[in-house]
Structure 1
């Protein structure tokens, strides 16, 4: 057992944690901080996922940091390129020296008399326990379980004679060249995997229960290319970033206000990509409206190209059972497969599955209410980074880190040692944390905090609204309590 104190303890060395480190040392230089990371390398998502073709599903001008602009021409970037960008960022600003790798947070206990957290951390190398104390706990551990993805209990799975893998645990030795591959799923991971596997596999079939909205866009932003030729690089990149922010907000708003019009536009794009022979109604027309789940990005139309070449196909059906040689479907059809990839989604992990206690009482996230998208009622001196579901994660992560720094500086200036969001009144109308129909959110609905219908309890999915509220709104807003 060891005992050490830092002003701020950041949990997670992924995209959010590295950004938090930069803002803390830039905006709060008088505060000490450390980052604990359970894995042996930084990068979070981009270190974990190793499946073929792994890439961003947002443009890198907004997924990249505001303080270190993305300069690569490819705006839809490959996973290894993104991981290298994160490593370079951490190294350039000395953030890597603040990271304790192989340190897994197990629980955190808040003491009101001491006005600090005691965080229990396990060293993964030898299993020893370390106690770290901090004045402020900054959770940057993402929102899904790194231990494993969601795997449905498929009937007859044990009979399958081939190999079955989940993208979150992609084996390095998997040889799919010349093999028949079935990818189960229709989300971003499946749409990424199909064209990546189709280059070597004999054939790739995407088996989906229902379609997902897809939109093709170039991996290299044409406006960015033109702006770079005419303007200084920093100015060009800033303009491209803001164009993408505003365009994304416009499209989301249009989807909500004129869903039928957006359905027509998106389906028109798929028809142009696949031609008149494609069965658009069966395989590419979802039951839900656009942006009730994330739009699936198809960079350079690669998914559609794989289908047009005949190396990939889409089947919309339900699985009745696995067989020795593949899958039997409820329609009576059969799919032969040497390899089955279960791209069936994520499992959410609120606050990294960490046990939180406030003065000995266990915190149940589902009984808390969101405050400005980063704090929770009844939990002192803690913030949690949770990015946008309708835009790049980093946009919200940057705003969250800057707000935390403003909060810490306000507390230093006023002498406050504790800040807490008080409980909402009994008459405050509450809603689910996220208004999203995606399976991974629906499966975890009972463990997520609630949100209100008005600020500061409402979880905005609007960068401009959050920018004004979190960058320029008063920290002492009459809701947060300081002692």
Structure 2
């Protein structure tokens, strides 16, 4: 017997992180007639900022652009710690009345679209007993991010079972774990590793960052003097807006400079690191990547904290390859041995579009690589469904806010015209390419499982905020690439289904 639908609403949002809360706020402000629910798998909101608990967890994007466009960031810290960001998201949800729309411990496992009734039926596991329940909606917004929440990427290092200490992936960090006085090896050179090393140094006996190859790391002030001054002389919202415009402009300038003059940027970055560490430090070996700036994301060291612990001797860096783990640590291919009580493989994420939900369109199972992105927010052949997917070269939330604005415009347009659903339809001769032009390992490992992008608008996914703002915010809704239609079948609930308003 089919499980009856528990509730029906206009819009279902999957995920109560920064993307899901942002979607809800935009709906309330721009499409106030739409009822919505948020289905969240975890016991609390916050997404990434509730999940990750490792020492020093923070944003590597400045909060003046990572924050919502509708709510000023007034904390003052440019690169905020995880608890501060979670508090910001929670306060936003509480003050806007969004909390009452969230169903926690509700993990969506399947989403079925039916064109005849023009609605989605979502199946979820609810509560600790994982009771199966069904929810329906006219429109679906997937705000579950782009990586797996149950585990991160873990290479199969030889000899791991021989190690007599502890091995903890950052994504599974236990806040009660005591690392006082331990010798720690952090494997990796990305943002997580660069965060962990200074956060654990001092309390640990010693921290070593072991990397196969270097990453670009830039020191940035933890306070923005201009932003602090603007808050003193202007109302909070005006100060935030001006600071946000400044940061967007600087970010775009530096990204374009990196792409056009990579050698010049690389030289400048390495010069600054030498100024931090001194001429005797082997900067070329440990901080000069083989790739160009912004082929992967930059890592940030607020107030140069990463370089400070290297100078103090509380931490060190090794650029080498793992030969194998043994009982007391890691044997390197160079012949050197790193002793360790704790090994932290900060080895990256596993990408997973839509939270791993099984998606079915009119009886046909969704296969991501067979679909193409539309304006970086929808997928070809998938009706009434938007995907929150942020920038790789700028703050995630910049694109998320634009996406939610466009969704509201789309919903309002369909109401005005009497349409029940919309579906992006690409031309048959559209040339496609990889979704992301990024050399990071977590991206390269996942490319074969991701949707594609086209080589021209609106199928090309631009990493350009100004271009996206103009087309997403002001471009026509009926652009010749989106098909609009009315339901062809019965739109009333099937017999035995209980539908309640979730407004």
Question: TM class, shorter-chain normalised?
Answer: over 0.9
The SS at the match of 1:23 is: helix
Aligned residue among 162, 177, 201 for 1:159: 162
- 2:47 and 2:427 mapped to 1: Cα distance? 34
Task: Give the total of aligned pairs.
Answer: 482
Pair 1:44-2:47 in alignment: yes
Query: Is the counterpart of residue 217 in structure 1 residue 215 in structure 2?
Result: no
Q: How does 1:271-282 map to 2 (within 5 A)?
A: 271-282=274-285
Deviations 1:390-444 (A, max 9, x none): 1111101100011000000000000000100114323x22110000000111010
Cα deviation for residue 124 of structure 1 reads 3.1
Report the equivalent of 2:435.
433
Do the aligned partners of 1:377 and 1:424 also contact (CA within 8 Å) in 2?
no
Is 1:33 aligned to residue 36 of structure 2?
yes
Q: Which residue of 1 aligns with 2:382?
A: 379
Cα distance, 1:225 vs. partner?
1.7
Q: Distance in 2 between matches of 1:229 and 1:275?
A: 37
SS in 2 for 1:122: strand
Q: Give the distance between the partners of 2:36 and 2:427, measured in 1 at CA.
A: 31
The SS at the match of 2:110 is strand
Q: What is the aligned counterpart of 2:266 among 253, 263, 267?
A: 263
Shift of 1:366: 0.8
Q: What secondary structure is seen at the aligned counterpart in 2 of 1:352?
A: helix
Kept in 1, the 8 Å contact 2:27–2:34? The answer is yes
Structure 1 unmatched ranges of 5 or more? none
Structure 1 residue 229: Cα displacement: 2.9
Q: State the partner residue of 2:329.
A: 326
- In the alignment, the residues of structure 2 paired with residue 33 and residue 241 of structure 1 have an alpha-carbon distance, to the nearest angstrom, of 29
1:151 match: secondary structure? coil
Deviation at 1:113, TM superposition (A): 0.7
Partner of 2:26: 23
Q: Given the alignment of the two structures, is residue 466 of structure 1 paired with residue 468 of structure 2, yes or no? A: yes
Q: Taking structure 1 as the reference length, what is the TM-score of the superposition?
A: 0.99
- Cross-structure match for 1:479: 481
Alpha-carbon separation, structure 1, partners of 2:107 and 2:236:
40
Q: Which residue of 2 aligns with 1:55?
A: 58
Which residue in 1 is equivalent to 2:105? 102
Aligned residue among 183, 188, 211 for 2:186:
183
Larger relative contact order (CA 8 Å, sep ≥ 6): 2
Between the aligned partners of 1:173 and 1:383, the Cα distance in structure 2 is 38
Residues 2-27 of structure 1, C-alpha deviations (whole Å, 9 max, x = no match) = 41211100000000000000011111
Partner of 2:72: 69
Deviation at 1:127, TM superposition (A): 1.5
Summarize deviations over 1:49-77 as a string: whole Å, max 9, x none.
Answer: 00000011001111111111100111111
Instruction: Tell which deviates more after alignment, 163-172 or 224-233.
Output: 224-233
Note the residue ranges of structure 2 that are not aligned, 5 or more in a row. Answer: 486-503
Q: For residues 51 and 85 of structure 2, what CA distance do their matches in structure 1 show? A: 12
